């Protein structure tokens, strides 16, 4: 097949861009011809960053909202002129036969976010042009008569799309993100403890891990507050990811745990942090299906997250993690931390974590995605 892949920023380091690169590699390895459509010229090494594919730059202009809209309009023109059998878009655009909703449902994200905003922020959210453009494009995707199939990366996202846009259930396929089995794998107890020591944890200290950027959406404030209530005075909280705000170190210091909260910044390789941690905590306001959760489980690390995270379906409370109802429920979060700072040391808990995602692989994700594309091609004909 001749496949067109669409992503606004295909060279970024986010979860959707990682998915694009794995899909691209899998499609090319199986003999398909792939072109990637993205905003602007991209880096000088654009095509070397997308091995086996041709990069097609799409003109964009203006501010954030205008760039999104101009990308959608100009991408439609470019795709109509392209000789592609099928268009798989990982972006909300105006032209695709298959849409992969890896970013979740924007309308649902706004709904879940609103209770945590000030009155002025709520007004800004409702009036902001960026959100209005996103909602317009999202509506256009799901009402486009040319759209054949939708790929959701969790059952949660499938239900959100059905609820907000009335998309027929038989038009949506749930295909989970894959997992790099070579990178994300458990370590034996002694090796895990030695790794934690090399990363700076005191001997015998148990580690709560947070991984993610955009700390406000991911609920880091509530995690620091909950961590301050943990009874173990030797426990550590490691924060991996980038955020420009200094409020988080200041909050940790004010709560008396500044010396036990370490901010690592962005890390090219997060696998050692998962492997060394006792438990991962991600009290997110909204996540379609957090790769961080899948990666932590793959390393045998139990997870605490919220019911607003599509990856919560991989958790069995009390066995390999806990799902809390609300991200700002600090008491429930503290209780979950207490529980899994203890259970997260045990073999059975870590084995249950790894087993929950043992069926995930990028090979499966690629194959299932190709089957959806082939089905879409048959429907188009």
User: What's the average model confidence in pLDDT over 232-252?
Assistant: 92
pTM for the full predicted model: 0.94
pLDDT at 46: 65
Encode pLDDT of 284-332 as tens digits: 999 999 999 999 999 999 999 999 999 999 999 999 999 999 999 999 9
Q: What is the 3-state secondary structure (H, E, C) of 183-235?
A: CCCCCCHHHHHHHHHHCCCCCCCCEEEEECCCHHHHCHHHHHHHHHCCCCCCC
Helix (H, G, I), strand (E, B) or coil at 40: coil
Encode pLDDT of 117-150 as tens digits: 999 999 999 999 999 999 999 999 999 999 999 9
**DSSP labels for 93-134?**
-S--SEEE-TT--HHHHHHHHGGGS-HHHHHHHHH-HHHHHH
Q: Which helix (H) or strand (E) holds 338?
A: helix 330-343
pLDDT band, residue 40 (cuts 50/70/90) = confident
For residues 83 and 69, give the distance between their C-alpha atoms in angstroms, rounded to a whole number.
Answer: 23
Terminal C-alpha separation, the chain: 14
Q: How far is CA 219 from CA 254, 286, 305, 308, 347, in A?
A: 18, 10, 10, 12, 29
Where along the chain do its domains lie?
2-178+361-380, 189-356
Residue 381 in this model has a pLDDT that exceeds 90: no
User: What's the average model confidence in pLDDT over 238-253?
Assistant: 91
Tell me 53's DSSP state: -
Encode pLDDT of 145-184 as tens digits: 999 999 999 999 999 999 999 999 999 999 999 999 899 9
Residue 45 in this model has a pLDDT that exceeds 70: no
User: What's the average model confidence in pLDDT over 261-274?
Assistant: 95
CB 96 within 8 A of CB 88: yes
Instruction: Please provide the average confidence, as pLDDT, over all residues in the chain.
Output: 95
pLDDT at 293: 98
Contacts of 128 (CB under 8 A, 6+ apart): none
CATH of domain 2-178+361-380: 3.40.50.2000
For residues 360 and 126, give the distance between their C-alpha atoms in angstroms, rounded to a whole number.
Answer: 38
Contacts of 123 (CB under 8 A, 6+ apart): none
Domain 189-356 sits in CATH 3.30.2010.30 = no
Helix (H, G, I), strand (E, B) or coil at 238: strand
For residues 352 and 360, give the distance between their C-alpha atoms in angstroms, rounded to a whole number.
Answer: 14
Give the sign of the dihedral formed by CA 138, CA 139, CA 142, CA 147. negative
Length of the chain: 381
pLDDT at 142: 97
For residues 281 and 195, give the distance between their C-alpha atoms in angstroms, rounded to a whole number.
Answer: 19
Contacts of 42 (CB under 8 A, 6+ apart): 10, 11, 49, 55, 57
């Amino acid at each position: 097949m001749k496949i067109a892949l669409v992503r606004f920023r295909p060279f970024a380091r986010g979860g959707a861009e990682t998915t694009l690169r794995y899909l691209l590699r899998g499609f090319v390895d199986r003999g398909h011809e792939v072109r990637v459509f993205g905003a602007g010229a991209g880096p000088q090494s654009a095509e070397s960053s997308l091995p086996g594919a041709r990069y097609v730059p799409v003109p964009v202009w203006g501010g954030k909202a205008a760039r999104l809209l101009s990308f959608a309009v100009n991408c439609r023109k470019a795709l109509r002129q392209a000789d592609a059998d099928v268009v798989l878009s990982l972006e909300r655009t105006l032209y695709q036969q298959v849409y992969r909703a890896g970013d979740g449902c924007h309308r649902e994200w706004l709904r879940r976010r609103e209770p945590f905003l000030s009155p002025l922020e709520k007004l800004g959210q409702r009036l902001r042009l960026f959100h209005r453009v996103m909602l317009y494009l999202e509506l256009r995707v799901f009402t486009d008569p040319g759209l054949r199939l939708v790929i959701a990366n969790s059952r949660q996202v499938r239900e959100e799309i059905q609820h907000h846009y009335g998309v027929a259930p038989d038009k949506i396929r749930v295909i989970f993100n894959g997992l790099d089995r070579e990178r994300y794998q458990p370590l034996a107890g002694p090796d895990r403890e030695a790794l934690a020591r090399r990363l700076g944890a005191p001997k015998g200290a148990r580690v709560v891990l947070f991984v993610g950027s955009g700390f406000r959406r991911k609920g880091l404030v509530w995690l620091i507050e909950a961590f301050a209530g943990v009874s173990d005075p030797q426990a550590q909280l490691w924060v991996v990811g980038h955020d420009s705000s200094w409020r988080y170190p200041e909050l940790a210091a004010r709560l008396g745990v500044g010396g036990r909260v370490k901010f690592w910044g962005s890390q090219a390789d997060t696998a050692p942090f998962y492997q060394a941690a006792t438990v991962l905590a991600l009290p997110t306001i909204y996540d379609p299906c957090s790769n961080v959760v899948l990666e932590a489980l793959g390393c045998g690390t139990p997870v605490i997250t919220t019911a607003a995270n599509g990856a919560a379906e991989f958790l069995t409370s009390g066995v390999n993690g806990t799902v809390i109802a609300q991200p700002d429920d600090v008491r429930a979060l503290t209780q979950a931390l207490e529980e899994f700072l203890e259970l997260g040391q045990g073999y059975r808990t870590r084995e249950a974590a790894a087993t929950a995602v043992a069926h995930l692989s990028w090979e499966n994700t690629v194959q299932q995605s190709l089957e959806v594309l082939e089905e879409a091609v048959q429907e188009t004909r």
